[in-house]
């Protein structure tokens, strides 16, 4: 089995890791709203786009549903991160994301990310 090319991975340096990273985006963010997801963004301090996820229990009760949403968003980001400008991104899930199927969620996150390019 061969390793995935470095461009197709989701390494640590393209993630928002600390509370300060998240706070910086929340304080002064642009916003793209979809039906099930909201995308907050702000110019990054580094050279690459970075992703953070905020899928709370308040909106998505079951852990398996939260994890499903996060997997779908991470995969979409992973596949298009080289095409994105240097932005820090946070994806927020709304309650309606629970009932949406994975194709609808994937189409929505793709559409939101495409607007940033």
CATH number at 91 reads 3.30.230.10
DSSP 51-86: EEEE--TTT--SHHHHHHHHHHHHHHHHHHGGGS-S
Tell me, yes or no, whether 7 lies in a domain. Answer: no
Tell me, yes or no, whether 33 lies in a domain. Answer: yes
Tell me, yes or no, whether 51 lies in a domain. Answer: yes
Which residues span the domain enclosing 27?
Answer: 15-116
> pLDDT tens across 57-69, in order?
999 999 999 999 9
Tell me, yes or no, whether 69 lies in a domain. Answer: yes
Tell me, yes or no, whether 4 lies in a domain. Answer: no
Residue 37, strand partner residues = 93
Tell me, yes or no, whether 25 lies in a domain. Answer: yes
Distance CA 69, CA 49 (A): 20
Task: Determine the average pLDDT of the residues in 91-116.
Answer: 94
**What does the mean pLDDT of the chain come to?**
91
Distance CA 98, CA 48 (A): 30
Task: Look at residue 56 and tell me whether its pLDDT is greater than 70.
Answer: yes
Tell me, yes or no, whether 64 lies in a domain. Answer: yes
Tell me, yes or no, whether 2 lies in a domain. Answer: no
Task: Look at residue 18 and tell me whether its pLDDT is greater than 60.
Answer: yes
Predicted confidence band at 7 (pLDDT cuts at 50, 70, 90)?
low
User: What's the structural domain count of the chain?
Assistant: 1
Task: Determine the average pLDDT of the residues in 108-113.
Answer: 95
pLDDT of the residue at 2: 60
């Amino acid at each position: 089995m061969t390793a995935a090319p470095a461009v197709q991975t989701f390494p640590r340096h393209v993630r928002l890791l600390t509370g300060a990273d998240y706070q910086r985006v929340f304080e002064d963010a642009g916003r793209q709203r979809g039906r099930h997801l909201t995308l907050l963004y702000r110019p990054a301090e580094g050279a690459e786009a970075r992703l953070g996820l905020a899928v709370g229990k308040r909106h998505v009760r079951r852990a398996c549903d939260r994890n499903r949403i996060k997997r779908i968003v991470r995969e979409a980001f992973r596949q298009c991160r080289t095409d994105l400008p240097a932005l820090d991104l946070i994806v927020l899930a709304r309650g309606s994301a629970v009932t949406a199927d994975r194709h609808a969620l994937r189409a929505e996150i793709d559409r939101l990310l495409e607007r940033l390019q």
